[in-house]
Amino acid sequence: MTIPFSIELYPPAHTGASVQLAAALPRLMALGPEYFSVTYGAGGSTRERTVELVEQLQHAGVPVAPHLSAIGAGRDEVRALLTHYRELGLTRLFALRGDAPSGMGGRGNFAYASDLVRFIRDEAGSELEIAVAAYPEGHPQAKSPAADLAALKAKQDAGANLAVTQYFFNADAFLHLRDQCARTGIVLPLVPGILPLTRYSGTARLAEARGIELPRWIARKLMNLGDDTTAVREFGLEVTTRLCERLIAEGVPALHFFSLNRAGAVEALCQRLGLGAMSPVAN
Ligand SMILES: Cc1cc2nc3c(=O)[nH]c(=O)nc-3n(C[C@H](O)[C@H](O)[C@H](O)COP(=O)(O)OP(=O)(O)OC[C@H]3O[C@@H](n4cnc5c(N)ncnc54)[C@H](O)[C@@H]3O)c2cc1C
């Protein structure tokens, strides 16, 4: 069984990162994702670079969904971006709140992602597909799980079409969120965000900061494998493959891979899962 998948990229900030992306992009494109998404720094910090990468992909004939973040954004700025994206022929985008860089506060017209979704929907009409974020283990700033669900419902009511989740390593968290959505009238397709597990310390640190559980047995095993990068990658691939297999068996509509602008892990994962151009049918 094969399902659609999308791949998230970030706009490179320096020459080394551009070289890395240039090497990864043809390989990621060859996998045949449904679309690429391109992140947007909060406060517009990557605006030019996001637009540049979006244009590059669109001109290469690859479907692309730009992200847009609410924090620090003004109505005129968002309107101008929407016009530009419409002229490029884009049909989908991601609307996020973003996280305020330290020292930045108060600027901008949108307090929450739902405010941005409503504005985009009003400006762009019904054609545009708007994706929003959801959190299987809760957003770190949410007052309660119920408040988090209410925030997702507000994004649906404002006109979002689908939700892509923060990454997670525990399938039950995602399945619980899906059940909760069904109980509270949230009918948005819920697409799991998948971070291919390739290393220990950086992953553990970021997961901790974002309130994501790295299960103890996985952390212990990775720690135990230490500097054996081949063994770490193989174990990470096995864990991520199993997670995806379970989610596919549970009937998720698609997968969204956080590639970190690298091709190897996503390629290996697609191969194990038989996805896209790696699917036995396509070969
Ligand atoms: C798939 C994905 C892609 C992402 N891409 C980007 C990106 O490109 N750029 C970027 O800067 N960040 C990105 N992020 C990170 C995201 O911006 C942060 O997680 C941010 O902290 C929350 O964004 P949100 O859109 O979920 O915000 P919101 O939905 O606005 O929620 C933020 C917090 O406010 C609460 N809340 C919402 N509405 C209300 C309300 N009316 N009253 C009180 N509380 C409320 C929520 O419970 C939550 O705790 C991404 C996240 C995901 C999962």
CA distance 171 to 141: 22
Going by alpha carbons, the residue nearest to atom 23 of ligand 1 is 97
And the tokens for 145?
């799980």
Determine the angle formed by the axes of helices 264-273 and 229-249, rounding to 10 degrees. 50
Catalytic residues, by residue number, are 8
CATH fold, domain 5-278, is TIM Barrel (3.20.20)
* Residue 53 alpha carbon to ligand 1 centre in Å: 23
Instruction: Give me the helices (H) in the chain, please.
Output: 15-30, 47-59, 75-88, 113-124, 145-158, 171-183, 201-209, 216-225, 229-249, 264-273
CA distance 160 to 173: 22
Please tell me what DSSP assigns to residue 223: H
Confidence (pLDDT) at 72: 87
**Domain locations along the chain:** 5-278
Per-residue model confidence as pLDDT tens digits over 236-246 = 999 999 999 99
Q: Is the pLDDT of residue 139 over 90?
A: yes
Confidence (pLDDT) at 280: 55
Per-residue model confidence as pLDDT tens digits over 100-117 = 776 555 568 899 999 999
Identity of the amino acid at 9: L
Q: Are 138 and 169 in contact (CB under 8 A)?
A: no
Per-residue model confidence as pLDDT tens digits over 65-78 = 999 999 888 999 99
CB within 6 Å of ligand 1 — which residues? Answer: 39-42, 67, 69, 94, 96-99, 112-114, 133, 139, 141-142, 147-148, 151, 154-155, 164, 166, 193
Determine the angle formed by the axes of helices 15-30 and 264-273, rounding to 10 degrees. 20
Of 5, 49, 112, 118, which is best to mutate to test ligand 1, by the most ligand atoms within 8 angstroms of its C-beta? Answer: 112
Atom of ligand 1 nearest to the CA of 42: 11
In this prediction, residues 17-27 reach a mean pLDDT of: 97
The pTM of this model reads 0.96
| Among the listed residues 55, 25, 62, 37, the one whose alpha carbon sits nearest the alpha carbon of residue 258 | 37
